[in-house]
Structure 1
């Protein structure tokens, strides 16, 4: 390849390769779809599916593994092996939602998985907006009717335009993390169904919440809201960073043109490019996983590099 970084990305798992072909090389659709079809049979996608329980769940639970000892959360970290996070990872890998194994998984999860909060059926969601945002994204991607959860999320929007999982505990201010989780869900819902007038308006207000803060600053003082927002994490799980937010706006690019208020975040991404053209993984979340999909914190990351390169390409092509 003329670009050694592209060659490095292509020397990878099908979950990355198909996105490089589509998003960076403009390969014919038949080519990237053929590579995408390998996700369920080769590499990380197949490996994650091999850890699935007979009843369609992962680790026997929806949010945490069955029989989870909550002291582990404090001593080791939040676990990432249960059904909700595994489905999100399959979606991010790009498994074909119409494949037989995907349809079987969705049906089994619907029959057997229940949320830890109050034993709610999985595809009905629970009470936290972060969890429900990801459930909407996963459900919409896999063809599940998640409209009732969307309606709840629309009604849970706060006065500043975003969302916060701490709303049920009295919070009146939105959070960056909850808002990006909900926005990703609403975008996937809109893609699969066209959305509703209320969901589209809610998505716009959530976008405005982030844009007004330049994706990482406090509205009140202009200070950086959290230094971790400027560090690149993968997989993000429920965590927020500016690269995740930028990739959301890129993904929504056909629906909303670039806004100059993200220019500073774009500059930050550009500034973090290493001399060899790659980006490193700044943060790797603690807690049990099925397997790692990066070479470790502080090392060049194909996932972070893919996301950064396609965000910057989108920004340039929009003439922003």
Structure 2
């Protein structure tokens, strides 16, 4: 009899190249040449090719950095936050696995650097802006695509809160960290460390940020022990800037460190959501304009969420 998990792997392998290469690398231990060859097809097939087809001639998406050029506050109120502009497109291409050494990736980096400016105050894209949440993702994307983002890293290290995390409301007086901002910064610092080795200061900041999450079991308030926000336990992809327990678990897996015992309750939250068919379904979609959907919708099995959950569980029990 075929193992049900084997059938799930077959289902994932039959999915988009953006999923398939990660399955080969993270679940099947395929040789590097095999998964890299599969990753190369992200540029020309499936979701990666579709997203690249929406790129503007000047290298941007939707004519803007964080917001589409034609977007208004009225549209935000009607539709929710849009996810089609350059910042979110670059993050999605990183998560798809667009080869950062490809001509298309290098050209995109150059064009974005030349033409894209942040909505906040016209700052050049690769210098970042003022919000830690945005700058954390800019570091992650820049480091992945080979950009020198060390000035943004230095800024983020200097903006760490006394409790170890980060909060994009710091500029308005907040002295407490948020789960959302912290995970965005941690992912950026890790990507930079993978690309450059980081600095003693950035590595120490990342360790302190991890401790912020671990002290809270990844989803509880330190003061009361109650869940900080039930939405953190939802299974959502893509999460954009939002924090989820599965996203945090996948971050800790990506560090390569042994699992911390304080992850146990969060892991059980994910494990308990596995369906009888051994897959995981999305709970909801974030509101807002997208170029296209990446699954069949809430309640239906999600290849992305299933991939993340399986590789987290494999990390826990290799």
TM-score range, shorter chain: over 0.9
State how 1:21-36 maps to structure 2 within 5 Å.
21-36=24-39
State how 1:175-254 maps to structure 2 within 5 Å.
175-253=178-256
The offset of 1:68, in angstroms, is 1.1
- 1:106-146 deviation line (CA, Å, top 9, x unaligned): 00000000000000000000000000000000000000000
Partner of 1:132: 135
CA distance in 2 between counterparts of 1:312 and 1:278 reads 13
CA distance in 2 between counterparts of 1:115 and 1:283 reads 29
CA distance in 2 between counterparts of 1:71 and 1:299 reads 32
CA distance in 2 between counterparts of 1:45 and 1:189 reads 23
CA distance in 2 between counterparts of 1:311 and 1:74 reads 36
Partner of 1:313: 314
Partner of 1:297: 298
CA distance in 1 between counterparts of 2:134 and 2:241 reads 8
Partner of 1:167: 170
The offset of 1:67, in angstroms, is 2.3
- 1:199-226 deviation line (CA, Å, top 9, x unaligned): 0000000000000000000000100000
1:37 aligns with 2:40: yes
CA distance in 2 between counterparts of 1:134 and 1:107 reads 18
One of 141, 144, 148 as aligned partner of 1:145: 148
Secondary structure, in 3 states, of the residue corresponding to 2:52?
A: helix
Secondary structure, in 3 states, of the residue corresponding to 2:252?
A: helix
CA distance in 1 between counterparts of 2:27 and 2:255 reads 17
Partner of 2:280: 279
How many residue pairs match? The answer is 315
CA distance in 2 between counterparts of 1:158 and 1:31 reads 43
The offset of 1:239, in angstroms, is 0.4
Partner of 1:67: 70
- 1:285-306 deviation line (CA, Å, top 9, x unaligned): 0100000111111111000000
- Structure 1, unmatched stretches of 5+, are none
CA distance in 2 between counterparts of 1:247 and 1:84 reads 21
CA distance in 1 between counterparts of 2:138 and 2:267 reads 29
Partner of 1:93: 96
Partner of 2:266: 265
TM-score (norm 1): 0.97
